[in-house]
Amino acid sequence: MNLSRLMCLLVLFTWGHNSVAEEVVNLYSARHYDTDIALYERFTEQTGIKVNLIEGGSDALIERIVNEGKFSPADILITVDAGRLWRATEKDIFQAIESPAVNERVPANLRHPSGLWFGLSKRARVIAYNKAKGLPAGLRSYEDLARADLKGQICMRSSGNIYNLSLLASIIEANGAEKAQNWANSVVANFARQPQSNDTGQLRAVAAGECSVTVANTYYLGRLLGSEKAADRDVAAKLGVLFPNQDGRGSHINVSGAGVTKYAPNKANAVRFLEYLTSDFAQRVFAEGNNEYPIVGEATGPISELGTFNEDTVSASVLGLRQAEAVKIFDRAGWL
């Protein structure tokens, strides 16, 4: 028996042994927020079910569950972005569940068609622009970023980033592969600099006038708006925000989500935990922890300042299905 398998058995024995004395749910989570701990403690208070938490990066947790196989103690995986939920699905680590409560509260387009995973919070990918320079005339959509008059004005992060892959996947779904390729080619031609940094880095560059526009997830804006640092709030004050495609399909949104693992030793508790995460209280706390939008209810906190918008209602599962095609398009466009 190899060391990895032995460790899995030891963890399973320990958690299983504890479950003789108390009910548990074993959670692998890619979220790392203090508010989540309070959320889990509230669940234990309400149900008597203890939440055993293992934290890590999304891809690392997916691989860990794959390697643990049928010996995995994991009951639930929480990860970010529909693209990663798709990767987990492709690795066959989820099992389908049927919960009328969850199905009623999570819209059909924000959950897997067969019940393998469910969205728990949302973020929009918006266009941010330099207020002092003003919104470029006529800029209303993601497609407009390809216009020739924006040459030398756009900052972007790497094409390998999951958020850009999911955005391009939505453009492929909406417009077809050929138009998506032309779009990527033209956006690359409009770069003010080579892709670098993260979404926050792009927002800072736009605020500093290094470029005129970028795209970023709304929770990065929420972090700047709600920051205790005056310098961060100053960056946010220099930015204007456009929710794209309001006259058409709506702005691209993505999800954080969760699924019950294939070999969950505490499946009933896992389903109960998922149902709890869609409750009004949990939705507010879960979303606020990362400045996201709840699946159920209205936005609160700093991102509520951005206003309301029309969402693209394409199935989030499509964002994963189109991912490989998006990679090829970015590569052909020379989007590093």
pLDDT at 3 over 80: no
Is 95 part of a structural domain of the chain? Answer: yes
Is 305 part of a structural domain of the chain? Answer: no
Same domain as 127, residue 60: no
Same domain as 146, residue 32: no
Same domain as 177, residue 39: no
For residue 34, what pLDDT is reported? 86
pLDDT at 191 over 80: yes
45 class by beta-carbon count within 10 Å (0-12 exposed, 13-18 middle, 19+ buried): exposed
Q: Give 217's pLDDT tier (boundaries 50, 70, 90).
A: very high
Of 282, 258, 318, nearest to 65 by C-alpha is: 258
**pLDDT over 90 for what percent of the chain?**
92
Q: What is the pLDDT of residues 286-327, one digit of tens each?
A: 999 999 999 999 999 999 999 999 999 999 999 999 999 999
Region 216-228 average pLDDT: 97
For residue 16, what pLDDT is reported? 45
Q: Give 17's pLDDT tier (boundaries 50, 70, 90).
A: very low
pLDDT at 21 over 60: no
Same domain as 187, residue 323: yes
Query: Rounded to two decimals, what is the model's pTM?
Result: 0.91
C-alpha distance from residue 275 to each of 26, 68, 222 (Å): 15, 26, 27
For residue 103, what pLDDT is reported? 97
Is 215 part of a structural domain of the chain? Answer: yes
Same domain as 131, residue 49: no
Is 22 part of a structural domain of the chain? Answer: yes
Region 265-269 average pLDDT: 98
Answer whether 25's CB lies under 8 Å from 87's CB: no
CATH assignment of the domain containing 113: 3.40.190.10
Is 128 part of a structural domain of the chain? Answer: yes
For residue 10, what pLDDT is reported? 45
Is 188 part of a structural domain of the chain? Answer: yes
42 class by beta-carbon count within 10 Å (0-12 exposed, 13-18 middle, 19+ buried): middle
Same domain as 132, residue 72: no
For residue 1, what pLDDT is reported? 45
Same domain as 83, residue 8: yes
Same domain as 26, residue 11: yes
For residue 314, what pLDDT is reported? 97
Q: Which of 18-27, 61-70, 134-143 has the lowest mean pLDDT?
A: 18-27
User: Chain-wide mean pLDDT for the chain?
Assistant: 94
Region 150-156 average pLDDT: 98
Same domain as 243, residue 140: yes
pLDDT at 20 over 70: no
pLDDT at 147 over 70: yes
For residue 22, what pLDDT is reported? 81
Same domain as 215, residue 162: yes
Same domain as 69, residue 44: yes
Q: Give 18's pLDDT tier (boundaries 50, 70, 90).
A: very low
pLDDT at 73 over 90: yes
For residue 7, what pLDDT is reported? 45
Same domain as 165, residue 241: yes
For residue 198, what pLDDT is reported? 97
For residue 32, what pLDDT is reported? 87
pLDDT at 33 over 60: yes
Query: What domain range is 319 assigned to?
Result: 123-251+312-333
Is 276 part of a structural domain of the chain? Answer: yes
Is 306 part of a structural domain of the chain? Answer: no
Structural domains of the chain, count: 2
pLDDT at 158 over 80: yes
